[in-house]
Amino acid sequence: MKFSAEQIAGILEGEILGNPDVEVTGLSKIEEGKIGTLSFLSNPKYEEYIYTTESSICIVNNNFNPSKKIPSTLTLIKVSDAYACFAKLLEFYDTMRKEEPRIEEPSFIAESAEIGEGVYLGAFSYVGRNVKISTGVSIYPNVNIGDNVIIGEGTKIYPGVTVYRDCIIGKNCTIHSGAVIGADGFGFAPNSKGEFDRIPQIGNVILEDNVDIGANSAVDRATMGSTIIRAGSKIDNLVQIGHNVEIGNNSAMAAQVGVAGSAKIGSNVMVGGQVGFAGHQKIGDRVMIAAQSGVAGDVKDDKKMMGSPAFEGHDYKKSYLGFRRLPMILDRLKVLEDKIKELTKD
């Protein structure tokens, strides 16, 4: 689809500097700009590219003042926040690419399932008994929806996802390819023979509204009750969420995080990649945890944690400086010990 600078400025409430009739059919990074594409500039680090880019339109901040001549083929659209406006356009572009409502064949839908209006169901998908799929849901090919699952309006489930029985998925969620929602939690108990007996996992998973689950992530069902990811939280690829975990509103976890069973994580928590959480701990609100940290105990609100085992960031940095100097400190200590021995000789 084609959009003119005038149309884009109207969507973003921006000011046009250049040709309002120039049209674009795609998006590109400013350093890789091509004719007929739209780019954005928000980070001053990339300003040099705006003077050489071949993009036809570029979104910039209101306070942007060129230090060189802008190419005559480039039209600028000035807005209050270039990054946020470009994100808005990406969302709009993604919406335009949404699959048309239809049910592809072959697919299986149980007779007792309820399918709302405007649903897209891709080929080779399975919809179990008593499933309720709301209006505007998109389920891509090769998705398995177990019995009694409820899926809220506008949710998108990409190819290869499995949602086990009894799980509840809220409105406008996104679940990316390969994710598994509601597999058994890791529940086993050793018996007198030294073998492991399986503990049945009879709970479910609840994803509240506007939750994102990344590709190949797993959210385990509760032993009893629910594993809960609350509204607005974002889970990256390759993340493991254990049974009976609760994650608060608008928290975010980067790739390869592992959360052991029954951990309670607060709202607006930011977690870097490869962080590990021990089970049964409580993490407060607005906590920030650096990548590769190992969190072994409770953390109070507003703390910044680093290291393994993790402790407060400013203390970790001081300790790390000491650790890096440890070889020199040991050498100096050896010299001092030798001097003391020399002074104390009989």
- 286's tokens: 């607005």
**Mind giving me the DSSP string for 224-282?**
SSEEEE-TT-EE-TT-EE-TT-EE-TT-EE-TT-EE-TT-EE-TT-EE-TT-EE-TT-E
If phi > 0 it is left, if psi is from -120 to 50 it is alpha, else beta; for residue 262 that is left
Nearby residues of 66 by Cβ (< 8 Å), 6 or more positions away: 50, 51
- 250's tokens: 């608008």
What value does the CA radius of gyration of the chain take, rounded to a whole number of Å? Answer: 27
What's the rounded Cα separation, in Å, for the pair 241 and 249? 15
Query: Minimal CA–CA distance to 259: which of 240, 285, 274?
Result: 240
**φ, ψ for residue 273 (rounded to 5)?**
-65, 145
Neighbouring C-beta atoms of residue 136, cutoff 10 Å:
19
- 154's tokens: 């506008």
What's the rounded Cα separation, in Å, for the pair 70 and 96? 31
What's the rounded Cα separation, in Å, for the pair 273 and 151? 29
Query: Minimal CA–CA distance to 201: which of 189, 214, 211?
Result: 189
Neighbouring C-beta atoms of residue 36, cutoff 10 Å:
16
In the residue annotation, 176 being an active-site residue is answered as no
CA dihedral 195, 201, 207, 211 (to 10 degrees): 10
What's the rounded Cα separation, in Å, for the pair 115 and 120? 10
Strand order in the sheet with 26-27: 15-17, 75-79, 57-61, 37-41, 26-27
Query: Minimal CA–CA distance to 186: which of 227, 151, 148, 214?
Result: 227
Active site members: 243
